[in-house]
Every structure is written in structure tokens, then in C-alpha cells.
Amino acid sequence: MGQSQNVSIELLEGHSNPIKQWVEDWTVEIDIVASPFDSFDSHILAKDSMVAIIPDHHPLAAEQEVNLEQSYRQVND
């Protein structure tokens, strides 16, 4: 693979609102985030799984898969 002396990469980390602002004011040219912003074009790079950490005594602990809406209702009912 060839090398280019005109390319530099700097990694910045932050929360959603500052990252959105960095793109808007050209602090960064590319942004990689977990969720897209409506005001920008986006392309899915990869799909990822999430895991739930649930105590043994929790009603959802016996489930193989947990629906986020279902778990939200469990917590908020």
C-alpha cells in the first residue's frame, strides 16, 4: 500500500452535540457515530449487537433476547 505525506489522521472523541458541531464547522471532515444525525448524509459502516446486563432475579433474566421496548415497560410500569 502506498504512502501519502499529505494525509494526517487525528482521533477526537466526544458526545453527540459536540461531534455534530465539529462536522458543521469543519473541525473534522469525517465523523463516525453510533446513530446518524438527521441533518447529515450517513452510510452504515457495520451493524453491531448490544447486550443487556440483568441481575439473576430480574423477570427478563431468563430471556434469550430482550426487546428494548419490553424492558422499558418493565422498568417504568
**Per-residue model confidence as pLDDT tens digits over 21-57:** 998 999 988 888 887 788 888 888 888 887 878 899 9
Contact 40, 16 (CB under 8 A): no
Specify whether the backbone of 43 is left (phi greater than 0), alpha (psi in -120 to 50) or beta: beta
Least confident of 13-22, 48-57, 62-71: 62-71
Q: Is the pLDDT of residue 77 over 70?
A: no
Is the distance from CB of 34 to CB of 20 less than 8 angstroms?
Answer: no
Band (pLDDT 50/70/90 cuts) for residue 67 is confident
Average pLDDT, the chain: 82
User: What pLDDT score was predicted for residue 47?
Assistant: 85
Specify whether the CB–CB gap between 18 and 34 falls below 8 A.
no
